[in-house]
Chain A
């Protein structure tokens, strides 16, 4: 791993809480690592496990999924489903050899700009620890 390695993180944020939280972090001039590529989804419950797989296949070194706190979901219960599914996905990925440091989930509300900063810092730091993800990346195949 080169000294100036910067991990790529794909973050799926729910429209109602975490995306607004990240927005708040921005408008409050909170600075956090720029390794995050945000993809806004309507709800964390909408995050298909294949999104996570696909991100890792296409070059992400880590994936973050963030939604509303339990009980705060705009759709009442979407984040509960997400918690169950993605918890299983994390177990499964760990079992097939994906470092658990590469996949995180968090609850960040619209008013938690500072928590968002902490979450990103933790995610980036973990992904940096784990190093570049070569595992099942779609490699450029030689013919």
Chain B
């Protein structure tokens, strides 16, 4: 990725009168961290980066930012929000368009063709983090890690995030401006994580997920980071009626996790953010990918690809599978 082009385009877009701010990525405060950047003017664009460390899906902020009531006598700010998207992130934008979570003329989408990002946990495990901010680059087929002036070449297979291994849309599916040439798509690998769980019998599966959900602390970071979890009033926060009790135990954690996963059935665009942010290391991606695969295989539906599509759970086909019906 050409950083100059990125920053030049970023500066141009951020300087536009009809753009409130531009969402991009910037170097984090230490180690391998990359932080979301809110660029409000052309000068701010100088800090933008795009590297294999840019895992965050910025589409979350389109719906996360609070809409406060406009004070009397003031006009609402109707300027657009510009954001940089990878392939998966662009699917989130498309899905938001499908659900009318956002309107097309409210956003400026800058597409970044993405050769695949790293798994930050795996990276930190294999190459321990230092307090010095480190950089990373794509280098042909490999990753190049630069820290303390030292360059380390790391093979792609070693560090590629699971979601990227299975990615079928590395190039943004929606964009106003595209940075650089599209990358060549690769054959998605087999989803070993899901298959491993599927291969177990039903009781061992329950045991497996019991161990996983038991770890959940209900911080709701998986919900908040998800670009498609944007209900103003989440059912999990509701107290009357209380669908999921606040107490943290296996039963409620399971109910919460199933509810969360189910609400994303046919909507999840597999950006893997929930799994990345989980402080308890619950493999949430497995559940979401399993559902996404079922939706694809059984119903022939893929979310976040066609902005004109009907939302999966708010539509039906007369010939949907019904082999499970008595």
Say if the two chains contact directly (CB < 8 Å). Answer: yes
Contact between A135 and B206, CB atoms less than 8 A apart: yes
Contact between B287 and A83, CB atoms less than 8 A apart: no
What band does the interface of chain A fall in when counting residues whose beta carbon is under 8 Å from B?
Answer: 35 or more
Contact between B326 and A119, CB atoms less than 8 A apart: yes
A106 at interface by CB-CB < 8 Å:
yes
Contact between B259 and A50, CB atoms less than 8 A apart: yes
Knowing A81-B313, A98-B206 are in contact, say whether A53-B259 is a contact too (CB < 8 A): yes
Contact between A83 and B262, CB atoms less than 8 A apart: no
Q: Which of B202, B249, B266 contacts A141 (CB 8 A)?
A: B249
Query: Residue on A with the closest CB to B200?
Result: A97
Contact between A88 and B290, CB atoms less than 8 A apart: no
- Chain B residues whose C-beta falls within 8 Å of the C-beta of A77 in the assembled complex: 316
B325 at interface by CB-CB < 8 Å:
yes
Q: Which of A81, A96, A100, A107 contacts B209 (CB 8 A)?
A: A96
Query: Residue on B with the closest CB to A126?
Result: B326
Contact between B251 and A97, CB atoms less than 8 A apart: no
- Chain B residues whose C-beta falls within 8 Å of the C-beta of A135 in the assembled complex: 206, 210, 254
- Chain A residues whose C-beta falls within 8 Å of the C-beta of B299 in the assembled complex: 84
Most interface-central of A95, A135, A139 (chain B CB within 10 A)? A95
The 8 A CB mask of A100-121 against B (1 = contact, 0 = none) is 1000111100000000001100
The majority secondary structure among interface residues of chain A is helix
Q: How far is the CA of A57 from the CA of B250 in the complex (A)?
A: 10
Q: Write the nearest CB–CB distance from B299 to chain A, whole angstroms.
A: 7
Q: Write the nearest CB–CB distance from A101 to chain B, whole angstroms.
A: 9
Write the residues of chain B forming the contact surface with A, with a CB cutoff of 8 angstroms: 197-198, 202-210, 235, 243-245, 247, 249-252, 254-255, 257-259, 261-262, 265-266, 287, 290-291, 294-295, 298-299, 312-314, 316, 318, 320-322, 324-326
Q: Which of B205, B261, B321 contacts A97 (CB 8 A)?
A: B205
Q: Which of A70, A100, A136 contacts B255 (CB 8 A)?
A: A136
A72 at interface by CB-CB < 8 Å:
no
Write the residues of chain A forming the contact surface with B, with a CB cutoff of 8 angstroms: 49-50, 53-54, 57, 70-71, 77, 80-81, 83-85, 87-100, 104-107, 118-119, 122-123, 135-139, 141
Knowing A96-B206, A99-B202 are in contact, say whether A136-B291 is a contact too (CB < 8 A): no
Contact between A95 and B320, CB atoms less than 8 A apart: no
Query: Residue on A with the closest CB to B314?
Result: A81
List 10 additional A-B contacts (Cβ < 8 Å) besides A87-B324, A122-B326: A88-B291, A92-B265, A95-B197, A105-B324, A135-B210, A136-B250, A136-B251, A136-B254, A137-B251, A138-B252
Q: How far is the CA of A8 from the CA of B294 in the complex (A)?
A: 30
Knowing A49-B262, A87-B322 are in contact, say whether A97-B203 is a contact too (CB < 8 A): yes
Q: How far is the CA of A105 from the CA of B320 in the complex (A)?
A: 14
Contact between B294 and A91, CB atoms less than 8 A apart: yes
Contact between A92 and B255, CB atoms less than 8 A apart: no
Contact between B261 and A139, CB atoms less than 8 A apart: no
Q: How far is the CA of A37 from the CA of B207 in the complex (A)?
A: 29
Contact between A84 and B313, CB atoms less than 8 A apart: yes
Query: Residue on A with the closest CB to B319?
Result: A70
Q: How far is the CA of A104 from the CA of B325 in the complex (A)?
A: 7
Contact between A105 and B251, CB atoms less than 8 A apart: no
Instruction: Pick 6 A–B contacts, CB within 8 A, sort by A.
Output: A83-B320, A91-B290, A91-B291, A98-B206, A104-B326, A135-B254
Most interface-central of B251, B261, B322 (chain A CB within 10 A)? B251
- Chain B residues whose C-beta falls within 8 Å of the C-beta of A119 in the assembled complex: 326
Q: Which of B202, B320, B325 contacts A107 (CB 8 A)?
A: B325
Q: How far is the CA of A118 from the CA of B325 in the complex (A)?
A: 13
Contact between B262 and A89, CB atoms less than 8 A apart: yes
